[in-house]
Structure 1
Amino acid sequence: MSSAEPTVDQVTRADRLSPTEIADVLALARAAGDTDGADPFDEHTLLRLRDPEAPAVHLIARAGDGTLSGYAHLDTTDPAAGVGVELVTHPARRRNGVGRALARGAVAAATGPLRAWAHGDHPSAAALAVDLGFTRARVLWQLRRSLTAPVTEPRLPDGVTLRAFQPGVDDDSWLALNARAFAEHPEQGRWTAEDLRVRLAEPWFDPAGFLLAVEESTGQLLGFHWTKVHERPGSARIGEVYVLGVDPAAHRGGLGRALTAAGLAYLRDRRGLDRVMLYVDESNSPAVALYERLGFLRWSAHVNYHLG
């Protein structure tokens, strides 16, 4: 057995990726996700990866034979607020310095503070973050629940009814409600009409699973539960509490609990699913407590690291 140091794959930078390169990155991400039990990229990065106009820096690591061994995505939309970073290394090329080379490349390429996600909270990612001077700043829990267990019957407040989202009709009202409901959230509360449009065009979008709570007397939107179904070849289907929000003026009336229950019932009864997941900030104690009362348990953690 050779005692030589592992060979660090070559890392190159690009401002755009070709369709072939995008396909290779997505295949790499699937391989890593299947190995780790947690996908390396969140939805935001995947959407931007497929958008040739999205401002980004792409770092590509290749082995000696030219095959893709690692990739890092730097979201440079607003460098002053922080450059978002996500990276992945092929399972077969780990412990060869690829991840460290990509991380160092990201630090060198960034023109502002770095905000890096480590999906799955792997010890190797934590060790690399410490070595490079990153600090652990935020934890996002993935919670899961069986849908074969009893689901609470939705009990809406008096004068409130549920209906499905109507694309092109409810867009502006929903964006305004979303901004109020997530005024303190670092990502969700900043959604624009374009953010909404892109997601409404996704193959998974189902308007019947985008539930709106409406005040009957005025038609005003008071809350919503947007559900999502994940379907990937070779994997079991799973539902998601994609986004759940309530107008601050309608808090403490049980609407959040009723909306959650309604969405779970939809995923079980209308979509035939037997399990569901969601993401929630560890620091959002009221939301964590609500979901745990509804039968959700902690499944995995995703950690955001900051530098600068």
Structure 2
Amino acid sequence: MGAEQRYTRAGSEIHAGPVPEGSGEIQEILAAAALEDGREAVSEQGRLRLRSGTARPGVTHLVQSAVGQEQPRRVGYAQLEAGGASGSPGTAELVVHPAERGRGLGRHLVEAVLAEAGGPVDFWAHGGHPAARRLAGAFGGELVRELRQMRRAGKAVDEAPLPAGVTLRTFRPGEDDEQWLRLNALAFAHHPEQGAWTEQDLADRFAEPWFDPAGFFLATRGDRVVGFHWTKVHPGTSAGPALGEVYVVGVDPAEQGSGLGRALTAAGLRHLTGDAPGERGLETVLLYVDADNPAAVRVYERLGFTVHEVDLMYRVR
């Protein structure tokens, strides 16, 4: 991957390269799909990469246009992240404009992604969209991951004390970046996306309008950061009120079993749902957790979270 490639078949042409030109049209496709489907077709990470317009190692953008008429128009988009050096599959997300669906464009996108990857690819079906599941089935896709979105309503949060010797403070951008990235990589060493965050990934989020260091909590033991809870607020829209999010919770493996994760989660929930000065007073909080992490699922269930919807990942070989 890296050099631009072109994949053509009747009525559809796909350009694959490191950075797409004219991303505004792609943003329009994503917005139309989100409105139609009730959820984003491409993850936050993918949308940030697209908006930044910066080439990322191992990331390929595939832009699909309808051809055979006077003015070609963009109708679909896919993003492929290469697999690791160990031969792990690549990861892809794709979307077709709602007005263009049912014409085989999604199949052409999958074929182009597979050709570009040159090996197995894990495709996300966000929200378990029926059309995405059918497309995966057409390519013999195997379900390999289930990411649950869980939600919790209400303000009551049980107190959860910090372990002895641990204190809580908020994140200081520009000062805590390096130590946080190191702990994030340690806490999520086996996580396929979160553990690989870079300085650029962090900077991209600092630049987002939702970023608020007052909702980014660090647990410290002396001078060492041993845990964190980064919260997020999704602004209200015509479709519903603002939502809080347990964005990322991480704990140093050396602190596992100490109750630190529960204390951090409770602190973030109080910030999101509380009515004290500086707290956000939100009614509903969401989070994402892998279904194959039963320990985390049980923790969140005890805190009142229930499954709202699921994202599914299918491996196509």
1:3 maps to which residue? none
SS of equivalent residue, structure 1 residue 120: helix
CA offset digits 1:111-153 (Å, max 9, x no partner)? 333121110112321221121122111111111111x341223
1:254 aligned residue (250, 255, 259)? 259
Could you tell me how far 1:155 is from its partner in structure 2? 2.0
SS for the counterpart of 1:295 is coil
1:240 aligns with 2:249: no
Deviation of 1:9 after TM superposition, in Å, equals 4.5
How far 1:233 sits from its partner (Å)? 4.7
The one-letter amino acid of 2:246's match is V
- Trace 1:150-229 onto structure 2 (pairs within 5 A): 150-215=156-221, 218-229=222-233
Unaligned runs of 5+ in 1: 1-6
| Alpha-carbon offset, residue 62 of structure 1 | 2.8
Between the aligned partners of 2:152 and 2:229, the Cα distance in structure 1 is: 16
The equivalent residue for 1:13 is 15
1:119 and 2:120 aligned = no
Q: For residue 300 of structure 1, what is the aligned residue in structure 2?
A: 309
Q: Indicate which of 88, 105, 118 corresponds to 2:112.
A: 105
User: Would the aligned equivalents of 1:56 and 1:77 in 2 still touch at CA under 8 Å?
Assistant: no
Matched, 1:50 2:56: no
Q: CA deviation at 1:294?
A: 0.3
The worse-fitting range, judged by mean Cα deviation, of 118-127 and 108-117 is: 108-117
Aligned partners of 2:121, 2:23: CA distance in 1, in Å?
Answer: 23
Most deviating of 72-81 and 268-277: 72-81
- The AA in structure 1 aligned to 2:127 is G
**Shift in Å, 1:72:** 1.6
> 1:58-103 CA distances to partner (integer Å, 9 max, x unpaired)?
1313375644332222234858543321111222222222222222
Report the CA distance between 1:234 and its aligned residue: 3.2
Task: From the superposition, tell whether residues 9 and 274 of structure 1 become closer, same or farther in structure 2 (CA, over 3 Å).
Answer: farther
Deviates more, 1:58-67 or 1:289-298: 58-67
Q: Percent identity?
A: 46
Amino acid at match of 2:200: E
CA contact (8 A) 1:74 1:84 kept: yes
Equivalent of residue 94 in structure 1, options 94, 101, 105 = 101
Tell me which residue corresponds to 1:38: 39
In the aligned structure 1, how far is the partner of 2:286 from the partner of 2:260?
20
Aligned pair 1:61/2:61, yes or no?
A: no
Tell me the residue number matched to 1:24: 25
* TM-score, structure 1 normalization: 0.88
CA shift, 1:244, in A, is 0.2
